Structure 1
């Protein structure tokens, strides 16, 4: 695991700087204590990172669960009772892993997964633009369309124009220039620029800028900085940990909440695993059942010590990949950096301008939502582009799971449509002896989805036609199709249509019973 430390250590630093404000922001958006978000980030990095089979995935509190968490804390009448639901959700996730539910991840179309990555990239860009200009009314981890401050993703962009902070904007512009220069020029000049990452330089410069502009017109006020809780001493630090209310375990509401968290967290994790594997330059495949076991263990630990629910998250995972992370060591180290920030240097971390971290996230978002991908997906044809663009719009306008659900629904409709089209091959020959000869070759698998297409072709046959029905390549023929042929038998007699059935067992003209014929012939 340590052979790639020269890549994993710099990557873990960048992931840490991205994860830090997201952990705090997601906790704020969830209506939970800020420290609970940091606990989830630490557990996601160290515990889940150690147990997971993913080489480059990073886990932590998820923005997609913020609404569920916020509602659950209210409905369960207390954060301690909610923590019990998180622990039970972890137990349920372990059950999902043991039952091998991870296979679900392999059934999401590639176009939908690419749409998911692009949609998340666009959300990051739209959400970070206000923070880039020093407008921080909304939590930096709130990725929902309807925000906790009463605004939406798009109205927030209009409101920020009246609240631009000169100092925050200036350092954000400088940071963005550094990140672009680092990525496009300097890393190609020398290996030292790969070891020392651009985001680290930008953050250090942001701290220096804040320190030197105090008392000037460019001073960045406290609300535009990272805000880690600063304990007065070790005992007050320990006092930030919260523990589950075990007395509520017999109530039905706790189990409903636990199952909801387990289901949504598992789906988000599996989607992220599939997306992360596609981004992985080495194209490694994550064992999904093991991932569910790791996430379950992580949620149990997080809930036991006062943390938010955990999933594998695409923002931190993609940041890890873009920063050159090679193994799970990167995720683990970022967890230890979070511990260091909370215990040893919270005051220093609280001097980091949010606009600098917004610049880092803007670069991450742009790489996820690269305009070239839209062109590529369009050129692949409408069957790929439509599920892709529907997923993107759904994620931006609604939320992650709803966007994925819409894209998946459109993908299924397209599959059914193509199945409807591809059930058979029809060849029409010129009329001879007063009869039109038609050859219909059925596909390898013909199911009830194909009923409409086949019935349409049979009903369109002219009177006095000659139909050759070739089923030699058909491995599976649904009983619904056999019944259609059986019903057509009478229509054929009335319209003087001759049917010649060609099979591997020979040729039968005007068979008396298709049902009896296919009972003799294995259809699966």
Structure 2
């Protein structure tokens, strides 16, 4: 009875388990070094990164409405976390800020702040995905050849060790470990070839890669191809359950009135929420079933996750594109994959840490290189080019900005460029017109656009007052418009007086005494009155000024 209720709440599916189980293993293998690397770079205990990944998988995925997104420690928060721990002076005080940040996210979910995610232009989101793919490739190439100076999972252009993306690549060329390189190349070959054999697909290619890499690592010992400990995964080894419990750290609630704690909490909550909304929107774009994730519920789930993480000693989390895209590419179907990956992380820490510590980072880099290529395929650039410059330019600018700065800064730049094209298109599509010649002159009919905002005011005003003298009859039709801004109505009424004074005939249709009804309200009223719509509204294309 209880199991049935839990299954109903989580909406678990036995049918999809055959897809989610192997995908969860892939996500686990990708998440493991990322959790450790981000914790190390954040100045937090290694276990805190693993704990955050476990909670992100088991807790957040259980409450989330997104079927494919995976949550865990985020590289975008690394600098903030590092600075906050140093600023607050104690890790326990920082944990209190994480708990408060989670509670703030809960409130954001309740007040429906997730709607912000609906306003990210598609060109920017697709550009962000391609940029993440390029960053994954550039950042993992050093790890692929055994140059592991930066932390595994770094995303920003500037690195914490004073290097940047390209200087790290240059240094990697002079510090190649041939054993790591061979393992990476073999791993890439398996990842590409293995899925082409139908009978072999039952076993996930990344799992084969990891097993073979561990074997090769042991074979290379004592040779010139030998790997150092810095080339391997390193997780805490616990000898007993009591020692495992000792890894948990709890927040210092005596600092609840510390103003700096609240500043850090709000900073984490806002940035983590933005990264989550961006990631969820991006994952929906690559979801083969094109499902739409409820963003308010996602913020609520993230709030529960961050509050739980802070209470137990973890670092902040977000929905993360790298792990999520690995989940999609591995064939994941539902939240079961994310939940299972959290369970695998927990079991790995408790049961087989010694075996996990034999995994070479270069084989995990190969898995991410394969994922990065799928995100930044040349076909994505070709598709965006064919959509026109108003889509391709924001797409390209977002890529360049994200690669050379960081995720949020790059997306912000992409949004500004996208807004320019949106405003320009909005200004140029204020109305349609039709001219009919007659004996005394000509008649012009203006048909206003479906949405007429204050941004259209200048274009409409310029067009009306620039009409040729031969136009002696004017019709301005706003009956098809769902919204007309009051400023635009005022311009039209002023022009009406001007036209009458010039002896012209003017007719205003659907404008005088107009009451604008919001689209959502109008749509809801239509459903309540007529039932569900049976066919979509199709707008006929016509000439525009």
> Given the two structures, how large is their TM-score scaled by the length of structure 1?
0.91
Q: Distance in 2 between matches of 1:486 and 1:327?
A: 55
Whether 1:249 and 2:243 are equivalent positions in the alignment is no
Q: For residue 378 of structure 2, what is the aligned residue in structure 1?
A: 371
Aligned in 2, Cα 1:523/1:42: closer, same or farther, shift over 3 Å?
A: closer
**Comparing 264-273 with 249-258, which one deviates more in the overlay?**
264-273
**Comparing 140-149 with 272-281, which one deviates more in the overlay?**
272-281
- Secondary structure at the residue paired with 1:229? coil
Q: For residue 170 of structure 1, what is the aligned residue in structure 2?
A: 182
Q: Distance in 1 between matches of 2:412 and 2:445?
A: 40
- Secondary structure at the residue paired with 2:313? coil
Kindly state the Cα deviation for residue 407 of structure 1 after the two structures are TM-superposed.
2.2
Q: Report if the CA contact (8 A) 1:416-1:449 is conserved.
A: yes
Whether 1:453 and 2:459 are equivalent positions in the alignment is yes
Aligned in 2, Cα 1:487/1:13: closer, same or farther, shift over 3 Å?
A: same
Kindly state the Cα deviation for residue 363 of structure 1 after the two structures are TM-superposed.
0.5
Q: For residue 357 of structure 2, what is the aligned residue in structure 1?
A: 350
Whether 1:91 and 2:103 are equivalent positions in the alignment is yes
Q: For residue 113 of structure 1, what is the aligned residue in structure 2?
A: 125
Aligned in 2, Cα 1:449/1:182: closer, same or farther, shift over 3 Å?
A: same
Whether 1:317 and 2:324 are equivalent positions in the alignment is yes
Q: For residue 475 of structure 2, what is the aligned residue in structure 1?
A: 469
Aligned in 2, Cα 1:37/1:479: closer, same or farther, shift over 3 Å?
A: same
Q: Distance in 2 between matches of 1:296 and 1:2?
A: 25
Match for 1:285 among 286, 292, 301?
292
Whether 1:421 and 2:428 are equivalent positions in the alignment is yes
Q: Distance in 2 between matches of 1:102 and 1:396?
A: 26
Q: Distance in 2 between matches of 1:48 and 1:200?
A: 25
Q: Report if the CA contact (8 A) 2:103-2:304 is conserved.
A: yes
Matches for 1:29-48 after TM superposition, within 5 Å: 29-48=41-60
Kindly state the Cα deviation for residue 346 of structure 1 after the two structures are TM-superposed.
1.4
Q: For residue 143 of structure 2, what is the aligned residue in structure 1?
A: 131
Q: Distance in 2 between matches of 1:207 and 1:256?
A: 45
Aligned in 2, Cα 1:444/1:198: closer, same or farther, shift over 3 Å?
A: closer
Q: Distance in 2 between matches of 1:479 and 1:2?
A: 52
Match for 1:391 among 386, 398, 405?
398
Q: For residue 223 of structure 1, what is the aligned residue in structure 2?
A: 230
Kindly state the Cα deviation for residue 431 of structure 1 after the two structures are TM-superposed.
8.6
Matches for 1:150-165 after TM superposition, within 5 Å: 150-165=162-177
Q: Report if the CA contact (8 A) 2:28-2:345 is conserved.
A: yes
Q: For residue 144 of structure 1, what is the aligned residue in structure 2?
A: 156
**Comparing 325-334 with 373-382, which one deviates more in the overlay?**
325-334
Cα-Cα RMSD: 2.1
Q: Report if the CA contact (8 A) 1:6-1:195 is conserved.
A: no
Whether 1:267 and 2:261 are equivalent positions in the alignment is no
Kindly state the Cα deviation for residue 296 of structure 1 after the two structures are TM-superposed.
1.2
Q: Distance in 2 between matches of 1:459 and 1:51?
A: 57
Kindly state the Cα deviation for residue 38 of structure 1 after the two structures are TM-superposed.
0.6
Q: Report if the CA contact (8 A) 1:142-1:148 is conserved.
A: no
Matches for 1:71-90 after TM superposition, within 5 Å: 71-90=83-102
Matches for 1:5-84 after TM superposition, within 5 Å: 5-84=17-96
User: Unpaired runs of 5+ in structure 2?
Assistant: 1-11, 518-545
Kindly state the Cα deviation for residue 251 of structure 1 after the two structures are TM-superposed.
1.1
Q: Distance in 1 between matches of 2:497 and 2:66?
A: 60
Q: 1:365-407 deviations in whole A, cap 9, x for unaligned? A: 1111111011011101122222222222222122112222222
Q: Distance in 1 between matches of 2:362 and 2:428?
A: 53
**Comparing 270-279 with 205-214, which one deviates more in the overlay?**
270-279
Q: Report if the CA contact (8 A) 2:496-2:506 is conserved.
A: no
Kindly state the Cα deviation for residue 323 of structure 1 after the two structures are TM-superposed.
1.1
Matches for 1:179-218 after TM superposition, within 5 Å: 179-183=191-195, 185-186=196-197, 189-190=198-199, 193-218=200-225
Q: Report if the CA contact (8 A) 2:500-2:506 is conserved.
A: no
- Secondary structure at the residue paired with 1:454? helix
User: Unpaired runs of 5+ in structure 1?
Assistant: 505-516
Whether 1:498 and 2:504 are equivalent positions in the alignment is yes
Q: Distance in 2 between matches of 1:365 and 1:181?
A: 17
- Secondary structure at the residue paired with 1:141? coil
Q: Distance in 2 between matches of 1:34 and 1:474?
A: 58
Aligned in 2, Cα 1:463/1:7: closer, same or farther, shift over 3 Å?
A: closer
Q: 1:446-493 deviations in whole A, cap 9, x for unaligned? A: 221111111222342344642513224344332222332344457557
Kindly state the Cα deviation for residue 312 of structure 1 after the two structures are TM-superposed.
1.4
Q: Distance in 2 between matches of 1:175 and 1:133?
A: 12
Aligned in 2, Cα 1:287/1:479: closer, same or farther, shift over 3 Å?
A: closer
Aligned in 2, Cα 1:444/1:2: closer, same or farther, shift over 3 Å?
A: closer
Q: Distance in 2 between matches of 1:439 and 1:44?
A: 58
Kindly state the Cα deviation for residue 271 of structure 1 after the two structures are TM-superposed.
1.9
Kindly state the Cα deviation for residue 245 of structure 1 after the two structures are TM-superposed.
1.3
Q: Report if the CA contact (8 A) 1:463-1:497 is conserved.
A: no
Aligned in 2, Cα 1:523/1:343: closer, same or farther, shift over 3 Å?
A: closer
Q: Distance in 1 between matches of 2:445 and 2:301?
A: 56
Q: Report if the CA contact (8 A) 1:124-1:143 is conserved.
A: yes
Whether 1:301 and 2:308 are equivalent positions in the alignment is yes
Q: Distance in 2 between matches of 1:499 and 1:132?
A: 76
Q: Distance in 2 between matches of 1:85 and 1:57?
A: 25
Q: Distance in 1 between matches of 2:227 and 2:473?
A: 81
Kindly state the Cα deviation for residue 334 of structure 1 after the two structures are TM-superposed.
1.3
Aligned in 2, Cα 1:473/1:259: closer, same or farther, shift over 3 Å?
A: same
Aligned in 2, Cα 1:54/1:483: closer, same or farther, shift over 3 Å?
A: closer
